[in-house]
Amino acid sequence: MSSALSYSSRQVFSHEITHTGPFCPSAFELLFLINSEDYDDQITAAVQDNDRLQAFWGSMLFLRGHRHRMNEALAQLDRQAGTFTEAMTNDEDTIQLIGPITVPVPVLDVENLPVHIEIPKDADEPFPDSKDINPNEPAFFHELQQTH
């Protein structure tokens, strides 16, 4: 792994190691490489002479494709849930609950509050808007860290 990994490598770690020779990754390291999608060619080349590893690699690619579709479905569900909760809290017949009820209160750190977050535009995709920005995604925190 290198600090020159492309943006698709979803997480940022404080320490990275670049392997220049033969490398037998741990399960964690291999999942990181697979999820980053930056090393598919190297992994494909490494498993080409081993039927068992080829089957596992094909299964991982299959699962990764399903994960992308599931993430899209979950994002759509989140948007729909947001629409319903907005309606429940902003219409004339607003929901009122009877306590005791405990809810989290966001900590507003005004001194460290980012003024804006710049999200890179991909050539193939339209520029993201507020519906595309998910603070629960590691990419959001990656961008937040880059602005500080």
- Is residue 43 included in any domain, yes or no? yes
pLDDT score at 16: 72
pLDDT band at 52 (very low <50, low <70, confident <90, very high): very high
- Identify whether 6 is part of a domain: no
Residue 59 lies in a domain: yes
Domain range enclosing 86: 25-99
Decide if 106 is inside a domain.
no
The pTM of this model reads 0.46
- Within a domain: 76: yes
Is residue 85 within 8 A of residue 97, CB to CB? The reply is no
Q: Is 4 a residue whose pLDDT tops 50? A: no
Residue 116 domain flag: no
How many angstroms separate the first and last alpha carbons of the chain? 24
**Number of domains, the chain:** 1
Judge whether 31 lies within some domain: yes
- Judge whether 88 lies within some domain: yes
**Nearest Cα to Cα of residue 25 among 36, 63, 14:** 36
